[in-house]
A and B are shown apart, each in its own frame.
Chain A
Amino acid sequence: MVPIPAAGLTGPLAHTPPPAAVAPLDPGQVPHLAAGQLHELHAESRGWASALLFALRTMAQTAKTGGQGHAAPLLLVRPHGSARGMSCDLPGNAPYGEGLAMMGIDPARLLIVETSSPADLLRAAHEGARCAALGGVVVETWGELRDYDLVASRRLVLAAEVSGVPVAMLRGQARPRPSAAHTRWQVATAASAPVTSLHQPLTARLPGPAAITLALLRQRGGPAGLSWHLEWNEDHARFDLARPMSPIPARKPLFGAVMAGTVVSLSALRKDMARRNAA
Chain B
Amino acid sequence: MERKGQALRLAAIGPAALRAGLMAGMTLADARARCPALRTAPHDRLADARLLDQVAAGMARFTPRVAVDGVDGLLLDITGCGHLFAGDDALARLAVEQAALAGLSMRLALAPHAAGARALVRHAPPGPLLQDGAAVRAAIARLPIAALEAGEEALRGLSRAGLRHLGDLAARPMAGLAARFGEEVVTALRAIMGEGGSPVVPRPTVRPIRAVARFAHPIARTSDVLEVIEDLLEEVARQMEARQLGGRRFTIMLERSDHARRRLAVDTSQPQRDSAPVMRLMRERIETLADPLDPGFGFDAIHLAVPRTGPLPARQNRLDGEGREEDSIAALIDRLSTRLGEGAVLRLYPRNTHLPEKAQGLRPALHHGPAQGWAMPAQPRPLMLLEPPQPIAAVAGVPDGPPQRFTWRGNTHDIARAEGPERIAAEWWRQPLGHLPDYRAPTRDYYRVEDRAGQRFWVFRHGLFDEQAHPRWYLHGLFP
Decide whether A and B are members of one complex. yes
Residue A94 interfacial (CB < 8 Å): yes
Residue B472 interfacial (CB < 8 Å): no
Residue numbers in A under 8 Å from B376 (CB-CB): 101-102
Residue numbers in A under 8 Å from B13 (CB-CB): none
* A99–B324 touching, CB < 8 Å: no
Q: Which of chain A's residues 70-129 have a Cβ closer than 8 Å to chain B?
A: 70, 72-73, 75, 80, 89-103, 106-116, 120, 123-124, 127-128
Residue B70 interfacial (CB < 8 Å): no
* B374–A113 touching, CB < 8 Å: no
Give the number of chain B interface residues (Cβ < 8 Å): 63
Within the complex, which residue of A97, A189, A190 is in contact with B360, where a contact is CB–CB below 8 Å? A97
* Binary CB contact string for chain A from 117 to 155 against chain B (1 if under 8 A, 0 otherwise): 000100110011001111000000000000000000000
* Binary CB contact string for chain A from 159 to 192 against chain B (1 if under 8 A, 0 otherwise): 0000000000000000000000000000001111
* B381–A102 touching, CB < 8 Å: yes
Give the one of A70, A95, A108, A212 with max B CB within 10 A.
A108
* A113–B345 touching, CB < 8 Å: yes
State the CA gap A72–B328 with chains docked (Å).
11
State the CA gap A208–B480 with chains docked (Å).
11
Residue numbers in B under 8 Å from A205 (CB-CB): 416-418
State the CA gap A205–B475 with chains docked (Å).
20
Q: Which of chain B's residues 243-257 have a Cβ closer than 8 Å to chain A?
A: none
* Binary CB contact string for chain B from 285 to 318 against chain A (1 if under 8 A, 0 otherwise): 0000000000000000000000000000000000
Residue numbers in A under 8 Å from B374 (CB-CB): 97-98, 101, 106-108
Residue B454 interfacial (CB < 8 Å): yes
Stretch at the interface among B111-119, B228-236, B329-337: B329-337
Query: Known: A120-B339, A131-B329. Is A93-B478 also a contact (CB below 8 A)?
Result: yes
State the CA gap A238–B449 with chains docked (Å).
21
* A98–B480 touching, CB < 8 Å: no
Residue numbers in A under 8 Å from B348 (CB-CB): 95, 97, 100, 107-108, 110, 112
* A96–B382 touching, CB < 8 Å: yes
State the CA gap A95–B419 with chains docked (Å).
22
Residue A207 interfacial (CB < 8 Å): yes
State the CA gap A116–B340 with chains docked (Å).
9
Q: Which of chain B's residues 361-391 have a Cβ closer than 8 Å to chain A?
A: 362, 365, 370-372, 374-377, 380-388, 390
* A130 nearest CB neighbor, chain B only: B332
* A73 nearest CB neighbor, chain B only: B329
* A48–B456 touching, CB < 8 Å: no
Q: Which of chain A's residues 194-244 have a Cβ closer than 8 Å to chain B?
A: 205-208, 210-212, 232
* B454–A191 touching, CB < 8 Å: yes
Q: Which of chain A's residues 37-67 have a Cβ closer than 8 Å to chain B?
A: 46-50, 52-54, 66-67
* A112–B346 touching, CB < 8 Å: yes
Residue numbers in A under 8 Å from B320 (CB-CB): 12-13
* A67–B324 touching, CB < 8 Å: yes
* B447 nearest CB neighbor, chain A only: A207
Within the complex, which residue of A12, A66, A96, A102 is in contact with B326, where a contact is CB–CB below 8 Å? A66
Residue B5 interfacial (CB < 8 Å): no
Query: Known: A101-B376, A111-B333. Is A52-B384 also a contact (CB below 8 A)?
Result: yes
* B455–A53 touching, CB < 8 Å: no
* Binary CB contact string for chain B from 341 to 365 against chain A (1 if under 8 A, 0 otherwise): 0011111111000001001101001
* B340–A52 touching, CB < 8 Å: no
Residue B37 interfacial (CB < 8 Å): no
* A107–B381 touching, CB < 8 Å: no
The distance from the CB of A121 to the nearest CB of chain B, in whole angstroms, is 10
* B385–A49 touching, CB < 8 Å: no
Within the complex, which residue of B340, B388, B409 is in contact with A113, where a contact is CB–CB below 8 Å? B340
Residue A68 interfacial (CB < 8 Å): yes
Residue B448 interfacial (CB < 8 Å): yes
State the CA gap A156–B360 with chains docked (Å).
32
Query: Known: A52-B383, A101-B377, A102-B376. Is A92-B388 also a contact (CB below 8 A)?
Result: yes
Within the complex, which residue of A89, A114, A131 is in contact with B344, where a contact is CB–CB below 8 Å? A114
The distance from the CB of A199 to the nearest CB of chain B, in whole angstroms, is 14
* B478–A112 touching, CB < 8 Å: no
State the CA gap A124–B478 with chains docked (Å).
26
State the CA gap A123–B345 with chains docked (Å).
13
* B325–A132 touching, CB < 8 Å: yes
Residue numbers in A under 8 Å from B339 (CB-CB): 120, 123-124
State the CA gap A230–B349 with chains docked (Å).
30
Residue numbers in A under 8 Å from B347 (CB-CB): 108, 110-112
Residue B80 interfacial (CB < 8 Å): no
* B417–A48 touching, CB < 8 Å: no
Within the complex, which residue of B328, B336, B380, B450 is in contact with A132, where a contact is CB–CB below 8 Å? B328
The distance from the CB of B394 to the nearest CB of chain A, in whole angstroms, is 16
Residue numbers in A under 8 Å from B380 (CB-CB): 102
Residue B453 interfacial (CB < 8 Å): yes
Query: Known: A103-B383, A113-B345. Is A96-B477 also a contact (CB below 8 A)?
Result: yes
Query: Known: A96-B382, A133-B325, A191-B454. Is A207-B480 also a contact (CB below 8 A)?
Result: no
* A123 nearest CB neighbor, chain B only: B339
Residue numbers in A under 8 Å from B384 (CB-CB): 48-49, 52, 90, 93-96, 99
The distance from the CB of A207 to the nearest CB of chain B, in whole angstroms, is 4
Residue numbers in B under 8 Å from A46 (CB-CB): 453, 455
Residue numbers in A under 8 Å from B21 (CB-CB): none
Residue numbers in A under 8 Å from B416 (CB-CB): 191, 205
State the CA gap A103–B385 with chains docked (Å).
15
* B332–A127 touching, CB < 8 Å: yes
Residue numbers in A under 8 Å from B390 (CB-CB): 91
State the CA gap A190–B350 with chains docked (Å).
31
* B456–A133 touching, CB < 8 Å: no
Q: Beyond the given A67-B322, A127-B336, A207-B450, please list 5 additional residue pairs across the A-B interface where CB-CB is below 8 A.
A: A47-B455, A99-B381, A127-B335, A133-B326, A134-B329
27 contacts between A and B (CB under 8 A): A49-B480, A52-B383, A52-B384, A54-B480, A66-B325, A67-B324, A75-B332, A92-B387, A94-B362, A94-B387, A95-B348, A96-B382, A97-B374, A98-B350, A98-B374, A101-B377, A112-B346, A113-B340, A113-B345, A120-B339, A120-B340, A128-B332, A131-B328, A133-B324, A189-B455, A191-B452, A206-B417
The 10 closest A-B pairs by CB, nearest first: A191-B454, A108-B370, A207-B450, A133-B325, A53-B480, A133-B328, A98-B381, A67-B325, A96-B385, A99-B381
